């Protein structure tokens, strides 16, 4: 029996894609719900991404993000900013775009509608 209040486990798949200049971009494809239980999946995947390439966070398959999940996203973006790494996000619902803007995530990363717009901006 499925509990409607149970969170969907966060999964992160990392892809390497080419930018328009032939460089590499690491894409962390997130799915499920983002919460405090997402720490290991998100931080572990980010730690495995090359610090020499920009990172894109793909939220197209994320169903829900609570305040702990937002804090984790901010943590990743602050780590990237400290090392001078470019980071961007795409695929957020209009609601979460608004929330990310309100909490100041856009100080660390730009938000884009889709992957092609994000890649074009990072290239």
Condensed to tens digits (0 to 9), the pLDDT of residues 9-68 reads 899 999 999 988 889 999 999 999 999 999 999 999 999 988 889 999 999 999 999 999
1-10: long-range pairs with CB below 8 Å, 24+: 7/32, 7/33, 7/35, 7/37, 7/64, 8/32, 8/33, 8/63, 8/64, 9/33, 9/37, 9/41, 10/34, 10/35, 10/37, 10/38, 10/41, 10/42, 10/69
d(CA 18, CA 54): 11
* pLDDT interval class at 8 (50, 70, 90): confident
- The answer, yes or no, to whether residue 70 has pLDDT greater than 70, is yes
Fold of 12-122: Transcription Regulator spoIIAA (3.30.750)
| Residue bearing tokens 């969170």 | 7
* pLDDT interval class at 5 (50, 70, 90): low
- Per domain, the residue ranges of the chain are 12-122
- The answer, yes or no, to whether residue 121 has pLDDT greater than 70, is yes
- The answer, yes or no, to whether residue 1 has pLDDT greater than 60, is no
Instruction: Give 113's contacts (C-beta < 8 A, 6+ positions apart).
Output: 90, 91
Q: Is the sign of the CA dihedral 81, 59, 39, 73 positive or negative?
A: positive
- Judged by DSSP in three states, 46 sits in helix
């Amino acid at each position: 029996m499925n509990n409607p209040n149970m969170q969907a486990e966060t999964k992160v798949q990392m892809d390497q894609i080419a930018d328009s200049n032939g460089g590499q971009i690491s894409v962390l494809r997130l799915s499920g719900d983002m919460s405090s239980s997402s720490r290991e999946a998100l931080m572990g995947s980010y730690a495995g991404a090359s610090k020499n390439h920009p990172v894109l966070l793909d939220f197209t398959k994320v169903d829900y993000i609570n305040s702990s999940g937002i804090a984790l996203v901010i943590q990743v973006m602050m780590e990237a900013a400290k090392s001078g790494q470019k980071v961007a996000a795409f695929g957020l619902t209009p609601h979460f775009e608004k929330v990310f803007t309100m909490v100041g995530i856009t100080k660390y990363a730009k938000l884009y509608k889709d992957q092609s717009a994000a890649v074009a901006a990072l290239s």
